[in-house]
Structure 1
Amino acid sequence: MSSLAASVPRPSEDDDAGFPGEATAVDCRAELVLVCGLGSLGQACLSRLLSFDVPLAGLDLQPPSWLDPTLRKRLGAGLLQGDMRQPGDLQRAGLHQARAVLLLSSDGSVNVEAALQCRLLNPGATIVLRSSSRQASLGALLEARLPGLAVVDPALLATGAISGALRPGEAAASFEADGQLYHLVEGPRQDPRWQRPVQHPDQAGGGGSDLLLTPGSFHPLGVAPTAAGQRAEAVAGVTALPRRLLAPLARRSRAQWLAVGALALLLVIGPQLFSHPGSWRQGMFVTLALLKGEYVDPVNVLLDGGAGLAEASGWLITGTLLYSLVGTLLTSALVAVLLERLLRDRLVRRRPARLRRGLRPVLLVEGSDLARGVAHALQRQKLPVVRVQRGEDWEDQEAGTPIYESVDAALTALRGSRVSAVGLLSPDLLANLEAALALQRRWPEARLAVLAHALAAAPRLGELLGGVTVISAVDLAADALVATAFGERVEGVVGIGGHHLLLVRYRIAPGDTLLGRTIARLEHGYGVTAVSLRRRGSATVIELPACDLVVATGDAVLVLATLKGLRRIERGEAVPPAWRLRLRVPDGIEGEARFECQQCLARWLGCALGETTGLLARSEVLTPLLDREPAERLHAELRRLGIFSQLEGQLPGQLERQP
């Protein structure tokens, strides 16, 4: 029985009330986690916290409508009715003994008021505040001013997950970190340097899964492009440059070309007509002044000093009048265009820009602020985006995102185009599903992502529909909020195969669980995947750090992990290494070969060079236990040096050997 179940009294089976009773106070226990706001998001967080084996308490202004009836029974007297902004209610809920407080009201202002009260009553607790995109600036200021306060925007987390699911290509999922795009792909590992097996806590100590993490700067399968391929791409880019520069000219109409030609002809003829012999500057000045719509000043320049208009020739009067009339028309047209642009931007909705043929855009239906964030994330990766949004303010069209009032209007504009992905982001799940199934018939090869705000069975629904990724915003936010409650800095959530992988950045402090451990020990011991490493005082980010690198104080490590893996790190519950090598050292290995062998052993065993002398002094020896990847790398290097080695792995109930 868990400590939670033992320490919280259970209500009777026939107790159907939202709260079990009028408890006066929660039993104060160390390590308490207090959840304020028990809507769908609060209940999702509570259900995840139950598996963490920590004391829990819940506080809400109204009796909640329980999505899982067993959850209320598990919590028992830990549920209280009250206002999270009131100090008395917070104290009754056990705030003074809480290690973490989750403020999850749908009203952001209520969460902010409650956060200030919580910080006054318990200066040492971690406070996790639910925020929205409209409160992003306030959240950043609060995080900077109040230590131990973390602001989490569920919409921002959903933005990363949805944009990752919509990116075209062979990758199962994608995400951005440290300005780099990463892909999760399935397939055999071909390049150990640029392909990292994604670890999972249930597979800790083993070889990871068939899912590979690879930087987006490489081929989708993680293989670096060849030099010949890079040269071919460079040549293709150079040859296509003139075509790209001339493309805007090709879209001009015949009438526009005729107008441009007539203006050029007037510019050529004017200086010849209005200049004295040997004075072309005068002719150019008069021509430009007339084409600007002026008349008196240019004519005065043409008349000789003292000569009147009565003495001017007929060709002069006629020519200057014609040029001045053309100039007046040009000036009027320019003013009309400028006024039309200004009035259209202020008073009239613009028509969406015409789509170029051959594009494979991503179509986003509804979603408002969420869709805007997804569009910006996709456009940073040079992916064209088309949106459907009723009542949109149309500001995004300045960023090159065509926006249509209805799906039918977008389909008309996309006629003849092949859409690469479709995101259905409306709050109405049924409307999303209906549109997804209809659009799947039109573009069967397109990726489909459907937003389900509070659907617990989202992954199974996606499997049932086939070819549709159903993303639950509540599940994404709940995983991130729970991880943040335990002091982790969550920078994103990646959804794949019905599971959520959290992007968490650890800053290594003295006494930290990860201090002094290699990347391989971190991955295989705790079931997480190292994405990047930034050394203390360095601006350089090491992508997919090598497995033998040691984590030091002040380093920042970005990992891809599940809640279970993060909990293992917090508790220090590492799976011990389970692999070793059986070596047979040939007689007579001396000199440079022996020294190179010692260097190899010292590197992968993590010991001093002199400590490897004993391993080479015997004809057959077993190395200390290693994690799988260092053992495989050491095995390959020793074989290259001509030393026989056999890889042995101790798996549950058996001994695995590999030649």
Structure 2
Amino acid sequence: MVDATRSVMLPSQPALTAPDGIVVCGLGGLGQACLSSLLAFNLPIRCIDREPPKWVDLAQGKRLLDVTLLGDMRNPEVLIEAGVASARAVLLLSQDSGVNLEAALQVRLLNPKAQLVVRSSGGSSSLERQLQDRLPGLAIVDPQLLTAGIFANALRPDGTEAAFDVEGELFVVRSTLQQQAASRDLFDQLSRLQRLVQWFPIDGAPGGPPASGWWNLDAKPAAGDRLLWLELASTLETRPRAHRGQWAVLWARFRLLFESCQEATERLKDRRNSLLSWGLLSLLLLLFVGSFLFGNASPLRGLMLTLALLKGEYLDAFSFIISGSNNELSPAHFPLAALALIYALGGTLLTAWLVALILDRLLAARIGNQEPKPMVAGTPYVLLLDGGPLAARLEQQLRLQKFQVVRVQENKPEPLAYPSLDRALRSLRHCRCQAVGVLSEDLMANLSVALELQQRWPGVRLAVRSHSLSQSSNFNALFEGMQVINPLEVAADAVVATALGERVRGVLRLAEENLLITDYKVNSSDTLQGLSLGTVAGGYGLIPLVLIGYGAIKPIALPNPERVLQLGDRLVVLASLAALRQVEAGNLKKRCWCLELRSLRPNAPIFEVQIALARYLGSVPGDMAKYVDLEHGAQRTAPLYQVPGRLLEQALKRLGVDCELVDATTCEA
């Protein structure tokens, strides 16, 4: 056990008074996953937990033992002892969002400049929104919602690897298997609306992480290679499905009602529902007895009077019963009056029950807490079981991609969701289930339901939410056709990126790696200012998705690599946590290519050639004159990244320049 009154740094770690120190408060599943990501950056770290943590990785626990304090994260003395006053960022990751917010206020008093990351326990409360708006440097994250995209992609039944939307644009990641050796190199396979995410050569493992651009675009894929392509989908795909005709929906309702009546009849025959059987028999007996008691030798008259009594009309019906006796009430009529009264009281209860049933349906329809409308027979759908806010976010993403979604929420009924799985399965018996997400917080209950549904639908895709399994992706091998996903484990990279000052929109899981959808706004001190998007992609190893120019309204999806970032521009990228760290530090990769200019055709437009060179080399046209002076032999440009180099090569060849992109190791800087 570690004493909260002392704090000893590991010999290999710098003091936490350094400006890049990180304090992690709350060492549950999310806290330990964040520590694993932070340790890869060799940052000075301190930890706070109320009780000795139960380490999933014992080696990590031993490594962090001497920098872990035991105490309440809301206690100023504990925070000061942990070095919060000089920390760069503080992660408040307790499962109780109220504790996290209270601790955040204490941290802000001790350190006005630190980046604060507060874990939300589900649903954005008014207090969380108010604090996030009023306190600068405070980011509230919900790890469940951050990873909704991973669940959505695990449930996609269309064969694509992933799909996500940014600024109203839909992006799709597709996997293609090379059937034969390619005749074109990778660069020629690129297009305006397509980017390469990962290349899996058949003869070995990938040479780098996805989206990093580690590959040589001059290479040609061999037969058996697998490629992941990011494509901009048609905007039509973001539109919802056209609704089926009303007649088809009405026919589906009638069919379900008819089959429900058949099932009720079968249950009566099999005597499985004794209460319903006795109730029906009792009603028939009452009608039969009343027809003879109240009919005065006319069974039809007696039946009508019995129905009137069951409706609750006592005086009028009884007066009609004794009408043959000159409407005079005698003691001989008392037994008949008592029996008629019993009929009337029972009928009143029956009428009240029917009225209550009708009102319940009407109120449910009025407040929106009704079951979903029946779907036409054969309609494919995705089934989501429980999940609360996570299921709501999943439904939104899947519907945007034109999938029919059906939700079941058993513990907390929600509008347009079935109250039970059995009820949903009965209503959807004629439809086709393509994927099931089991999203409750109980892993064993999730596995039980998932295995039962997998036995019912052998080919269905299954995604199971886990809270207790570390490295849950390793457990997928135990259950064929099922993906076990731990949101806390997956969201760790997004939480760490937020602590480092990034604005993370979501997380994707591609090629066994976590990729973050991150939003940048270019300012005067930003390392991205003045760089072309080709340099950003090649130098930092990321994929620019959407660019919104300063003052512009319409976003540009998959913008041109030659576009230069200016102050006020907003850029959304797809990148790993390591790549975002390089952007923050301004550590560009080495430029490995240069363009060799060999000759010009006689009528080549020299000034246009200089403009093209200046645009890609980040200079002015006047400085490019030395590259077009070819009297003394070929000239080589300053080093470039491969994509801008190939684009410059194409542009110069169109202008009549004989040139070629060559290895930069032989180029002059």
Q: Tell me how large the CA RMSD over aligned residues is.
A: 3.5
Report what 1:45 is aligned to: 34
**Pair 1:391–1:96, CA change in 2 (3 A):** closer
Does the alignment pair 1:568 with 2:551? no
Report what 2:523 is aligned to: 509
Kept after mapping to 2: 8 A contact 1:205/1:578: no
Measured after TM superposition, the shift of residue 212 of structure 1 is: 2.3
Report what 2:195 is aligned to: 196
TM-score when normalising by structure 2? 0.72
Q: 1:558 aligns with which of 572, 578, 581?
A: 572
Q: 1:403 aligns with which of 407, 411, 418?
A: 418
Secondary structure of 1:396 counterpart: coil
- Deviation string, structure 1 residues 103-159 (Cα, Å, up to 9, x no partner): 111111101110111111111111110013333432221111001111011121122
Does the alignment pair 1:487 with 2:501? yes
Does the alignment pair 1:211 with 2:228? yes
Report what 1:613 is aligned to: 625
Measured after TM superposition, the shift of residue 338 of structure 1 is: 7.0
Q: How does 1:302-341 map to 2 (within 5 A)?
A: 339=359, 341=361
**Pair 1:373–1:35, CA change in 2 (3 A):** same
Q: 2:394 aligns with which of 374, 379, 383?
A: 374
Measured after TM superposition, the shift of residue 623 of structure 1 is: 2.3
**Pair 1:483–1:251, CA change in 2 (3 A):** closer
Measured after TM superposition, the shift of residue 192 of structure 1 is: 1.9
Report what 2:407 is aligned to: 387
Distance, in Å, in 1 between the alignment partners of 2:368 and 2:30 is 40
- Deviation string, structure 1 residues 449-504 (Cα, Å, up to 9, x no partner): 22222433223333554443332211222111111111111111112232211111
Q: Which runs of 5+ in 2 are unaligned?
A: 10-14, 177-185, 199-207, 218-225, 258-353
Report what 1:290 is aligned to: none
Does the alignment pair 1:579 with 2:579? no
Structure 1 residue identity aligned to 2:602: G
Report what 1:244 is aligned to: 245
Q: Compare 576-585 and 108-117 and name the one that shifted more.
A: 576-585
Distance, in Å, in 1 between the alignment partners of 2:588 and 2:367 is 63
Distance, in Å, in 2 between the alignment partners of 1:648 and 1:219 is 42
Structure 2 residue identity aligned to 1:531: L
Q: How does 1:232-381 map to 2 (within 5 A)?
A: 244=245, 247=248, 339=359, 341-343=361-363, 350=370, 352-381=372-401
Secondary structure of 1:456 counterpart: coil
Q: Compare 27-36 and 413-422 and name the one that shifted more.
A: 413-422
Structure 2 residue identity aligned to 1:130: R
Distance, in Å, in 2 between the alignment partners of 1:609 and 1:575 is 26
Report what 1:23 is aligned to: 6
Distance, in Å, in 2 between the alignment partners of 1:252 and 1:158 is 36
Q: Which runs of 5+ in 1 are unaligned?
A: 1-16, 221-232, 257-333
Measured after TM superposition, the shift of residue 574 of structure 1 is: 1.2
Kept after mapping to 2: 8 A contact 1:25/1:93: no
Kept after mapping to 1: 8 A contact 2:123/2:389: no
**Pair 1:106–1:251, CA change in 2 (3 A):** closer
Distance, in Å, in 2 between the alignment partners of 1:626 and 1:347 is 62
Report what 1:522 is aligned to: 536
Q: Compare 37-46 and 412-421 and name the one that shifted more.
A: 412-421
**Pair 1:205–1:551, CA change in 2 (3 A):** farther
Kept after mapping to 2: 8 A contact 1:448/1:469: yes
Kept after mapping to 2: 8 A contact 1:201/1:565: no
Structure 1 residue identity aligned to 2:407: R
Distance, in Å, in 2 between the alignment partners of 1:65 and 1:336 is 53
**Pair 1:133–1:505, CA change in 2 (3 A):** same
Kept after mapping to 2: 8 A contact 1:455/1:472: yes
Distance, in Å, in 1 between the alignment partners of 2:653 and 2:401 is 43
Q: Compare 151-160 and 98-107 and name the one that shifted more.
A: 151-160
Kept after mapping to 1: 8 A contact 2:196/2:229: yes
**Pair 1:572–1:162, CA change in 2 (3 A):** same
Distance, in Å, in 2 between the alignment partners of 1:129 and 1:337 is 46
Distance, in Å, in 2 between the alignment partners of 1:201 and 1:573 is 17
TM-score when normalising by structure 1? 0.73
Q: Compare 30-39 and 182-191 and name the one that shifted more.
A: 182-191
Distance, in Å, in 1 between the alignment partners of 2:129 and 2:80 is 27
- Deviation string, structure 1 residues 200-226 (Cα, Å, up to 9, x no partner): 768456458933222232699xxxxxx
Secondary structure of 1:58 counterpart: strand
Q: Compare 615-624 and 640-649 and name the one that shifted more.
A: 640-649
**Pair 1:28–1:357, CA change in 2 (3 A):** same
Q: 2:101 aligns with which of 94, 107, 112?
A: 112
**Pair 1:471–1:216, CA change in 2 (3 A):** farther
Distance, in Å, in 2 between the alignment partners of 1:412 and 1:245 is 21
Count of paired positions: 534
